[in-house]
Structure 1
Amino acid sequence: MAYPNYYPFTAIVGQTSMKTALMLCGVDPTLGGVLVVGDKGSAKSTAARALTAVLPAITHRDGCQYRCDPDAPAAVCPVCNVEHPEDPLASSVRFVTLPLGASEERLTGSLDMEQVARGGPPEHAFRPGVLAEAHRGVLYIDEVNLLPARMVDILLDVAAMGVNNVQRDGIGLNHPSRFTLIGTMNPEEGNLRPQLLDRFALMVDVHATRDKQKRAEVVRRRFAYDADPEGFIKSWYKEQVEMRRQIYDAQCLLPQIKTDDATLLLISHLCCEFDVASLRADIVMNKASRALAALDGRDAVTPADVRRAAELALPHRRHRKTGEPIGLDSNKLDELMNNALQPA
């Protein structure tokens, strides 16, 4: 099975927080996605694309436009709801880009009304859009803060329900649309609506390294990739396979990891102390803590996992004064953690 020929995820120099956040969404796709904030040239889009090559393959039926899970096909899928003697296909996770200039119809998909008028069922007349293509995959939006308000509203609805509803002339069709949403933005070019900001499970703030050795290594690897993409990808094959195995093993371990009451209370304590209103923060921190433990091959969450989850889940959710940048006071986080973990 072929994987996309993107720049290898494991060849990205530094940017540990960004890579960790993306890997967590690979371990638990229900997390909801990552917002990557930073300057141009800090590997934001490179890392987003590269992620799909280290994610374990998914299975689906040949010809299925939704890439349904063969064990739980969509009710509207004309391919998966019939008997299939052959085994499902295994494919890499899709990476689907939503361009800023895309139309609403390109996002949601459309119905061929001429085919419906001839008596065809809506599921056969459906022309899939980005939301169908991204099901069980990665939906990427560059400069997400510049996305038109109407497109944001559609994304919010679908992200909340996991279902895309397409309506035209009284004819409707629903199809599943569950995806990992990765957005990138430069904060100098505008802010993101709070409603959409909260839909990103995790957020990382990235900057190009100021370490001259690392910068030189970034350039060296980029030149090597541009000169011979296939050869460069092959040179990182072992590392890519090892990371894919790590994520797969973590996916398998994740259901066994439970969060005890003390950890739940610690998570809620941090959310309250950082003045986070949304209860989604508590849920995300719980999921991220468990995914961190799974990536490390452990069956229990530690306070260190909770602290790391807080760094990724709270910066964009805490209450901020007007003009105050997104971020988290690490000294305050340390103090809160130390106080909470003191024996009673």
Structure 2
Amino acid sequence: MTRPGAGRRILPYSLLVGQEELCTALEIAYVDGAVGGVLATGQRGTAKTTTVRAFSLMVAGELPVTLPIGATDDRVLGGWQIEKLMQGAAEPEDGLLVEAAGSGSRILYIDEINLLDDYLVNIILDVASTGLLSVQREGRSEHRQQVDFTLVGTMNPDEGGLRPQLLDRFGLVADVAPEEDPERRHRIIETVLRFEAERDDPGSAFLAEAYERNATRKAELDAARERLGSVEYGDNTLRDCARLAAAFRVVGHRGDLVLGRAARALAATEGAAIVTGDHLRRVAKPALVHRRSTEESGSLPVWGAEHDQQVDQLLSTATGQDR
């Protein structure tokens, strides 16, 4: 259960209003780390960072390991302790990747990842996908170790994009849009102001209930992790993954794999024994949106209602053909 004192400045996960796409992506990546990292894209002020921090507090009781702006590659990847090296003793010093792997949430969080140097993003993504960190410093022998963490990045597309090669390395992309419904905007204001008024009150029933819901959701996600291996794919689920990827002209085959893994993780979170077309339908956008062919390098292709309809039609047609 999240310790209330561990993040009293962060809105509890269960009190978030909206954020469904990002929350689902984070939960899927938590249940099955093989899905890959999560990239949240949206304009400023849409609570991307708050959502990531609230999720980490819920599942681990601590904030995620965060890569600070301007971090050097030594700070990220690790190297040698300079004082020891000057004395002729090569003693490794862990970087943020190892710290993230050893943290409770096993999340490495990078805000404004699109402003980070491409070479460093590429290295981080490579380590995240392979689980192997290799560091060589000052001509000394190479230091290798296994690391296991989930990369979570956020970015404002108005400030620039990521190269398609880097976008593809993220398992899921969540589009975080501002709430347009006045009622939901009202709920956001009301919830945040009440949280700020009561966050220092140890007797707040409002927050006690929120933390209890957090504990319940964490238990559900942990249970989903345990039963993931027993969730089976439907007879034509994997064929449907290939059909969807081909229909959207997805570059490479990583999208097909992520689509299948994400659908199975979603099924596990819902206690389903078999992955269905509905699970595929609901993860199609975050798994495929950033992998479609585009001539606009660094931009995220738009996914609209017509694309959802295309997914529905393809899955419905496939179901009819397979009967």
Paired position in structure 1 for 2:267: 293
1:163 maps onto 2:132 in alignment: yes
1:199-218 to 2 correspondences below 5 Å = 199-218=169-188
Q: Which amino acid aligns with 2:161?
A: N
1:105 maps onto 2:71 in alignment: no
8 Å contact kept, 1:94–1:134: no
Closer/same/farther in 2, CA of residues 117 and 144 from structure 1, 3 Å limit: closer
8 Å contact kept, 1:8–1:236: yes
Paired position in structure 1 for 2:20: 16
Give, in angstroms, the shift of residue 149 of structure 1. Answer: 2.1
Q: Which amino acid aligns with 1:20?
A: T
Task: Give distance in 2, aligned partners of 1:289 and 1:192.
Answer: 25
Q: Which amino acid aligns with 2:126?
A: D
Paired position in structure 2 for 1:126: 92
1:131-150 to 2 correspondences below 5 Å = 131-135=97-101, 137-150=106-119
Closer/same/farther in 2, CA of residues 145 and 229 from structure 1, 3 Å limit: same
SS at match of 1:201: strand
Paired position in structure 1 for 2:65: 96
SS at match of 1:35: strand
Q: Which region of structure 1 is more displaced relative to structure 2, 157-166 or 184-193?
A: 157-166
8 Å contact kept, 2:58–2:218: yes
SS at match of 1:168: coil
Paired position in structure 1 for 2:145: 175
Residue of structure 1 aligned with 2:39, choices 24, 35, 38: 35
Q: Which amino acid aligns with 2:78?
A: G
1:254 maps onto 2:214 in alignment: no
Unaligned runs of at least 5 residues, structure 1: 58-91
Paired position in structure 1 for 2:310: 332
Task: Give distance in 2, aligned partners of 1:304 and 1:262.
Answer: 13
Would you say how many aligned residue pairs link Structure 1 and Structure 2?
306
Give, in angstroms, the shift of residue 117 of structure 1. Answer: 6.5
Unaligned runs of at least 5 residues, structure 2: none
Give, in angstroms, the shift of residue 216 of structure 1. Answer: 1.3
Task: Give distance in 1, aligned partners of 2:274 and 2:282.
Answer: 15
Task: Give distance in 1, aligned partners of 2:2 and 2:268.
Answer: 26
8 Å contact kept, 1:159–1:199: no
Q: Percent identity between the aligned chains?
A: 37
Paired position in structure 2 for 1:342: 320
Task: Give distance in 1, aligned partners of 2:107 and 2:23.
Answer: 15
Q: Which amino acid aligns with 2:163?
A: R
Give, in angstroms, the shift of residue 224 of structure 1. Answer: 2.0
8 Å contact kept, 1:25–1:32: yes
Q: 1:5-38 CA deviation, whole Å, 9 max, x = no partner?
A: 1321111001211111111111112221111111
8 Å contact kept, 2:49–2:154: yes
Give, in angstroms, the shift of residue 227 of structure 1. Answer: 2.6
Q: 1:64-107 CA deviation, whole Å, 9 max, x = no partner?
A: xxxxxxxxxxxxxxxxxxxxxxxxxxxx4661111231111111
Paired position in structure 1 for 2:157: 187
Give, in angstroms, the shift of residue 116 of structure 1. Answer: 5.1
SS at match of 2:108: strand
8 Å contact kept, 2:109–2:153: yes
Task: Give distance in 1, aligned partners of 2:107 and 2:282.
Answer: 23
8 Å contact kept, 1:159–1:178: yes
1:24-63 to 2 correspondences below 5 Å = 24-55=28-59
Q: CA RMSD in A?
A: 2.1
Q: Which amino acid aligns with 1:330?
A: D
SS at match of 2:232: coil
1:302-321 to 2 correspondences below 5 Å = 302-321=276-295
Paired position in structure 2 for 1:79: none
Closer/same/farther in 2, CA of residues 141 and 287 from structure 1, 3 Å limit: same
Give, in angstroms, the shift of residue 325 of structure 1. Answer: 4.6
8 Å contact kept, 2:57–2:63: no
Q: Which region of structure 1 is more displaced relative to structure 2, 93-102 or 4-13?
A: 93-102
Task: Give distance in 2, aligned partners of 1:263 and 1:294.
Answer: 15
Give, in angstroms, the shift of residue 276 of structure 1. Answer: 0.5
TM-score normalised over the length of structure 1: 0.83
Paired position in structure 2 for 1:276: 250
Give, in angstroms, the shift of residue 327 of structure 1. Answer: 3.2
Task: Give distance in 2, aligned partners of 1:253 and 1:44.
Answer: 29
Give, in angstroms, the shift of residue 260 of structure 1. Answer: 4.2
Q: 1:191-225 CA deviation, whole Å, 9 max, x = no partner?
A: 10112211110111111211112111111111122
